């Protein structure tokens, strides 16, 4: 594994290469996104959260993934257009990657290694529903689209939230505010 999460390269939607180093000294919420998922409406909440705190050093980073039920079938250009036109997304959305399985992107390998288990709300039914469909996540894997990793200004992964935790949930907003205050 790379020495720092900031050093792991990945692609922008235009094919150029970048890394989290571009966002050093910022608080990050890294989310695997999909355009045809029941959680896709979370783009609204992610954008609102981004706009509320971006001037304080907060960035939402979207990583499209087609790993769950083929819910992100589009090309990188189609995904960008969808995000912009449907949800008015201004936060960065990168090239499609894999977030599970043997071809999991090194960024997600590092995120999961740092936080192996997502925190789900006590009343969450997502894990039970997935298990009922035979899609329960393997240990140490992302469970579904819109799972969220919170990274502090130093590049430390400090929290991981389940897919059904909305971006405006106090668990996320409070954690973001706390990290921004440091």
Domains of the chain: 5-181 (3.40.30.10)
Question: Residue 1: what pLDDT?
Answer: 43
Q: How large is the average pLDDT for residues 144-154?
A: 96
Alpha-carbon span 101 to 73, nearest angstrom = 18
| Among candidate residues 47, 37, 35, 42, the one with its CA nearest the CA of residue 81 | 35
Question: Residue 2: what pLDDT?
Answer: 43
Question: Residue 70: what pLDDT?
Answer: 93
Does residue 134 carry a pLDDT above 90? no
Alpha-carbon span 17 to 9, nearest angstrom = 6
Per the residue annotation, which of 20, 27, 29, 37 is the catalytic one? 37
Query: Is 152 in contact with 181 (CB distance < 8 Å)?
Result: no
* Average pLDDT over all residues of the chain: 92
Question: Residue 91: what pLDDT?
Answer: 98
Q: In the annotation, is 37 catalytic?
A: yes
Helix 42-53 to helix 76-87 angle (10° resolution) is 80
pLDDT digits (tens, 9 = 90+) for 1-60: 446 899 999 999 999 999 999 999 999 999 999 999 989 999 999 999 999 999 999 999
Alpha-carbon span 85 to 165, nearest angstrom = 24
pLDDT digits (tens, 9 = 90+) for 95-121: 999 999 999 999 999 999 999 988 887
């Amino acid at each position: 594994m790379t020495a720092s999460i900031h050093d792991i390269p990945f692609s922008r939607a235009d094919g150029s290469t970048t890394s989290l180093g571009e966002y050093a000294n910022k608080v990050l919420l890294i989310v695997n996104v999909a355009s045809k998922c029941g959680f896709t409406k979370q783009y609204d909440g992610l954008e609102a959260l981004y706009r509320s705190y971006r001037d304080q050093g907060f960035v939402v980073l979207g990583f499209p993934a087609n790993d769950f039920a083929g819910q992100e079938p589009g090309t990188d250009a189609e995904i960008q257009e969808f995000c912009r036109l449907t949800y008015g997304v201004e936060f960065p959305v990168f090239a499609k990657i894999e977030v599970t399985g043997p071809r999991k992107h090194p960024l997600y390998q590092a995120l999961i290694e740092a936080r192996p288990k997502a925190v789900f709300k006590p009343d969450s039914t997502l894990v039970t529903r997935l298990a009922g469909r035979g899609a329960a996540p393997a240990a140490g894997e992302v469970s579904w689209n819109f799972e969220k990793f919170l990274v502090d200004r130093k590049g430390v992964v400090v929290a991981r939230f389940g897919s059904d935790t909305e971006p405006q949930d106090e668990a996320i907003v409070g954690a973001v505010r706390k990290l921004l205050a440091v």
